[in-house]
Amino acid sequence: MAFALCLPQISLSGEGAIEELVRQMANKPARRPLIVTEQALMGLGLLDGLIGQLRDQGFSPVVFDGVLANPTDKVANAAMAAWQAGDCDALVGFGGGSAMDTAKAVRALVANPDKTIYDFEGIGKVAKVGPFMACISTTSGTAAEVTSNAVITDTRRKVKMVIIDPALIPDIAVNDPSLMTGLPASVTAATGMDALTHAIEAYVSIGAHPLTDHSALAAIKVIAQYLPQAVDQGKDLVAREMMAHGQFLAGMAFNSAGLGYVHSLAHQPGATHNLPHGVCNAILLPVVCEFNLPVKEARFADIAVAMGVDTQSMSQAAAAKAAIQAIRDLSARVGIPAGLSALGVVQEDLPGWVPAAEADPCSGCAPRVASQAELLALYQAAF
């Protein structure tokens, strides 16, 4: 059986990665990059270094700072309009998953001018690759700088469109921990639990293979070890750097192995209630793991070890259960609410989400297929 491992051409990690990105971009013909970002990051001055260095190297960067959390079709189209108005020739996504996903949407629209954003929903629908794109992550979670995924909300249907195509993989991925030290504790926790979800879903996915297993387990180990420290001591560069590595490894794993029902289920409250992706994932993760446990017991026992549980005196079944308890403990330790009801979700919301969750592309990699009634039961267990 053939295995695929899909990665950016170049990944730059560590302090000074931004300077190296600008050096590498200077060797390319493009000179008017569109920087796709959030207003809040501009306000914090986080982009000052990048913009200054680009100008010093003769670039004329154009900034689109209209990205919002859970980016919509309207945000993607507005970013595309900024590309056209600015006569741009390259893309730089700067921020969390929302900014990078919006940059990916612009890349798809630029390369395929006969299409709309809705035409790209699903797997392998982007066709042409588009302009040079670098993605600079300022959180440690989504791994959007590594992956072929973009998630854009269709505001007409109130559904998150999952777009998966290798044409969306950035040319250069950047993780500079010095950009992450100002990230609030709550966002650090949510994005870190998103990364843990990526690693765990990848490790038990039907698409898992030897080239993804190692990075998935390594990611679980690093995240379990360093997430509390990154949450408690945001200025700790070691914790930030280790979380950047951990989420990157998780991205390497899930970009090729796929995800599962945690993401399928979490995309729906994200779309209808604009809730943070990482928090929804963190709440649903132990519930879906319990559902998957009967078909992946050995793998959950591996996850327990990676999370630091001493399983030597345990049976495989006990070790697998201990993994799920370790996930719950970590989630509580970093301040994630116990259920969706704490986020303003009401029981009546749940049934309406089931069909879209079942149809979500992430469901295709679930190790145990759930009926619609079982998907509803998962939502209720996470309520």
Q: What residue ranges bind Fe ion (CB under 5 A)? A: 194
For Fe ion, the closer of residues 70 and 112 by Cβ is 70
Closest CA to 64 of 37, 96, 32: 37
Instruction: Tell me the two tokens of residue 324.
Output: 């799920």
φ/ψ of residue 308, rounded to 5: 95, 10
For Fe ion, the closer of residues 8 and 33 by Cβ is 8
CB-based burial of residue 116 (10 Å sphere; 0-12 exposed, 13-18 middle, 19+ buried)? exposed
Give me the residue whose beta carbon is nearest to Fe ion. 194
Residue 50 near residue 103 (C-beta atoms within 8 A): no
Closest CA to 263 of 165, 375, 174: 375
For Fe ion, the closer of residues 72 and 247 by Cβ is 247
For Fe ion, the closer of residues 133 and 150 by Cβ is 150
End-to-end CA distance of the chain: 40
C-alpha R_g of the chain: 20
For Fe ion, the closer of residues 130 and 251 by Cβ is 251
* CB proximity list for 304: less than 8 A, separation 6 or greater: 311, 314, 319, 320, 322, 323, 326
Instruction: Tell me the two tokens of residue 382.
Output: 């996470």
For Fe ion, the closer of residues 183 and 322 by Cβ is 183
In the complex, what is the shortest distance from the CB of residue 281 to Fe ion, in angstroms, rounded to a whole number?
6
For Fe ion, the closer of residues 145 and 194 by Cβ is 194
Instruction: Tell me the two tokens of residue 131.
Output: 């302009």
State how far the Cα of 183 lies from the Cα of 230, in Å rounded to an integer. 10
In the complex, what is the shortest distance from the CB of residue 261 to Fe ion, in angstroms, rounded to a whole number?
13
Distances (CA, A) of 27 to 10, 31, 270: 14, 10, 39
For Fe ion, the closer of residues 34 and 362 by Cβ is 362
Provide the phi-psi class of 14: left if phi over 0, else alpha when psi is between -120 and 50, else beta: left
For Fe ion, the closer of residues 159 and 309 by Cβ is 159
Collapse the DSSP code of 90 into the 3-class scheme (helix H, G, I; strand E, B; otherwise coil) and give the result.
strand
State how far the Cα of 153 lies from the Cα of 67, in Å rounded to an integer. 12
In the complex, what is the shortest distance from the CB of residue 31 to Fe ion, in angstroms, rounded to a whole number?
34
Q: Any idea of the CA torsion for 229, 235, 240, 242, to the nearest 10 degrees?
A: -60
